[in-house]
Structure 1
Amino acid sequence: MTPLVVAAVLAAAVAHAVWNALAHTIRDQLVAFTLIGGGAAVLGAVVACFAPLPAGGAWPYLAVSALLHVGYQMLLMRSFSLGDFGQVYPIARGTAPLVVTAAAVLLVGESLSGLALAGVALASAGLSGVALWGLRGSRPHWPALAAAVATGLSIAAYTVVDGVGVRASGTPLGYIAWLMVLEGVLIPAWAFRVHRGALWTALRPHAARGLAGAALSMLAYGLVLWAQTRAPLAPVAALRESSVIIGAAIGALFFHERFGTPRIAATTLLTLGTTLILTAG
């Protein structure tokens, strides 16, 4: 992973944590993801007018990925409605890198050094395990935990699909643009069915935050897709989960959620895991 790739993935991590936090601030999660998904679809349509069209071999991956992203968004909405941002976000993000690593090796044919594998395992186990450790002294909210783990599995699924698809597309910019268009129309369509004539009234108070989240969402995943064309999937997936620490800090600063020892331990473990990944090259 070159310094430029590392910088792109870290920038994506910051953007990702911020757009998730913006979504969490909107009580009606369907409204939040309608704004984010719909806004990203509009941005994607604009970019698609200027970007090269993805190669034919990428379109099946785009179709599958769009469905996986919608499933991810539905699960993320459920997670945010059930649990604390600083709790469910680390579990969801921490579950993904290990699954991506296994899928990249078994399905994509990538190979990683023992040092890189150790880094991925350490970062992922630290993020998800320490998040669970933060439940000590309180009764676990199993529906929230289950939704967060399911969210992590969906992240792993679309990460692998997009990692292969963007390489087949020949154009990371065109791929992200069409992905935003394809996935971005489904949740707004569902919201229109739910809210019917009252949808615009529900959207209007949150429009600025939702559209900012849409721009950050497209930027974050566009940077990740670009990085996946220049580095193996597993290290990119693990490094991008530094967003978990940013998310935990946002939870503590803005949502008054406890940071404490579990989050400090997560920071340490993530730093160690990331160092191993970068050392392995």
Structure 2
Amino acid sequence: MTEQTSKPYSLDGKVVLVTGASKPDGLGAAFVRAAVKKGAAKVYATGRKVEAVDFLVKECGDKVVGKELEVTNSASVHALAESCKDLQVLINSAGYMGHGGDTLLGGPMDEAERRKVFDVNIWGALSVSLAFAPILSANTDSSLIVVSSVGAFTNFGGSMAIYNATNAAKDVLTAGLSAELAGKVRVGSIYPGPVKTDMLKKGVVDDPKQAGYLDTAAEPQEFADAAMAYLEAHGPEGGIFGDELGKMCKVIRDATHAKASELEMMAY
């Protein structure tokens, strides 16, 4: 078991895995491209079907290896872990927002849709993190990075509350993993603000009040490149926050963690 220390962070020469990379305009695909630019030796890119990430192999060359993963299927998760024993950096970015609406009580989300958001964003993300934790613990200079959202700290209202609730839960679970893996794996979260992904477009299409987010949203590749640059400059601990809203969320988060530390509660 390799002891990790606080030291400069680099993706150069690392083996990286990015979940949820099947959409060309998605954050997962953008993180794959960013990792290749930063010199990763190999980047596993996952989609529910391996063919879904072929475009990344064509774009980035043989450094990218396509893998099949359904995050809500435990057999799929464990099969992937068995095939990626050399992993050093897990970027757990698969997510689902569902179809948005201006009301939590009246839809258009039905119960099945709400459950899917929770299944993918909480149980799926946790399942992947737990499956790879022993592998990351055994490998050199490893890290686990969970892609959350500034929505973990805010309430945009409407059906976005479902998505935001899953990210709040994900953040607490990541804190727990950070405490348990301390000294073995560097753990942190990335908190994007609005990003112009297909997921966001579908999530706000039915809510004119939320559609304005698209006007100020960042481009996926722009955000991913900036996040990877910040990661290399500061490491994953402490969180990587996007946009002005993200900066305000960081102030809230840091104050909360300072109080938790004062009370000798778990924080990361």
Same fold by TM-score greater than 0.5: no
Q: Which of the pair is proportionally richer in strand?
A: 2
Q: Which of the pair is proportionally richer in helix?
A: 1
The TM-score, its normalising length taken from structure 2, stands at 0.31
The TM-score, its normalising length taken from structure 1, stands at 0.30
Where relative contact order (Cα < 8 A, 6+ residues apart) is larger, the structure is 1
